[in-house]
Amino acid sequence: MKRLFTAFGFICSACLTLAACSDGDGPAWADDQSHDSDSAAPESGDSQDSASDRNDSAIGQVDSGDSQPSENQEDSGVNFSPVKDGSLKIEKVWGQGLEIEVDDYGWNGDDMCFRLSLIDPETHESAEGIDQNSFSFAENGSPLGSEALYSVEHAKDLRVVLVLDLSQSVREAGALEPLRTAVSALYDSLPRAAHVAIVGFATDHRLLVPFTTDSSKITSAIENLAPPESRAGQFTNLWGAVVEASKLFDDAEDGARRLIVFTDGRDNVAEKNLTEAAEALIQARVTPYAIGLGDIDASALRSLTGESRFSETSDPNKLEPLFTDVAARLAEQWTLTYTTPKRQGTHTLDITASRNQEQAGFKVIFTVK
């Protein structure tokens, strides 16, 4: 069966992250390309003509050029090709008591693949009580049973880059040791198989640890976090660091891509700007989180991440719970794959997650030929 999708070789592992979309809560820079959000669940098979579709710059449809997978790349997860031809698109996202965000989606041969997370709208944290049996599928409005070819996997193929402000103001605010403690707590809360990298920045940015699963390397880097001396530590190259950190995903095997930025200030180097940082994250297909301390540009950080993925405090000793909250979100990810029996035509697929009387889901329109 031949799918209508772009035949370039960029390969990604399919994981899903469900976050606060039902109230329009997503990256502000993606507002024009995100899904419509409704407070009520759609009726099965009910097509919404007014629902907006992702455009070509949306996370599921980034043009990755002519890059090819490395011959040494391990086939360690579900890989998929981002969609460029409209053969697979999210038409509508909805929630009732739960919130959902679809971070990535595409084709893996004949399979549709999605990357999701579910969020409790009251706490803005990962929804508890979700398991593989919480998900259901309906094609063209007809519920699918055990005979359907689909799979649901949890916390798979996670890659995280920590982008940490190490300007001298962090030390002057008495935040250096609390930052080390908070980052260590976050790392300890991540799945052991997670690949983690660390970038530090002040006037310049530097790679402290490339992607690794070696806990000794990460622990050593955290213990040695410190501002550079003299002018090198006096300024804040925030957006330049985000752009540089996003490049780490260029050579990385694909998986759920997350970037966590911490800062206690505002960018005053102007190597890059907010728009360039946001575009770099879109191109790398990365979901960002931000944690701020003290006098920060909260509006800019919110526009980068969306409300639910931004947090701040004026107290360095309150950094740890903010970092561990993010870690909990990262650990609660879902990978969904579905194989349709259809051989041609345009069809709909509804995916729903349920917890007691609460539900969230999304509608997919797909074309096979």
* pLDDT, averaged in runs of 10, over the chain (369 residues): 34 34 33 37 39 29 30 36 78 94 84 89 85 92 82 82 96 96 96 93 96 96 92 89 96 83 95 96 92 96 92 97 91 87 94 95 94
CATH superfamily of 158-331: von Willebrand factor, type A domain (3.40.50.410)
State residue 254's pLDDT score: 66
d(CA 247, CA 283): 10
Angle at 342 between CA 336 and CA 346, to 5 degrees: 90
Which candidate, 206, 255, 252, places its Cα nearest to that of 232?
206
Give the per-residue pLDDT at 103: 78
Stretch (H or E) spanning 257:
strand 256-263
Q: Phi and psi for 220 in degrees, rounded to 5? A: -65, -45
Q: Is the pTM of this model over 0.85?
A: no
Query: How far apart (Å, rounded) are the C-alpha atoms in residues 88 and 61?
Result: 10
Please name every residue paired with 97 in a beta bridge, in sequence order, or none if there are none. 359
Domain limits, the chain: 12-154+332-368, 158-331
Q: Please report the pLDDT score of residue 324 as a whole number.
A: 94
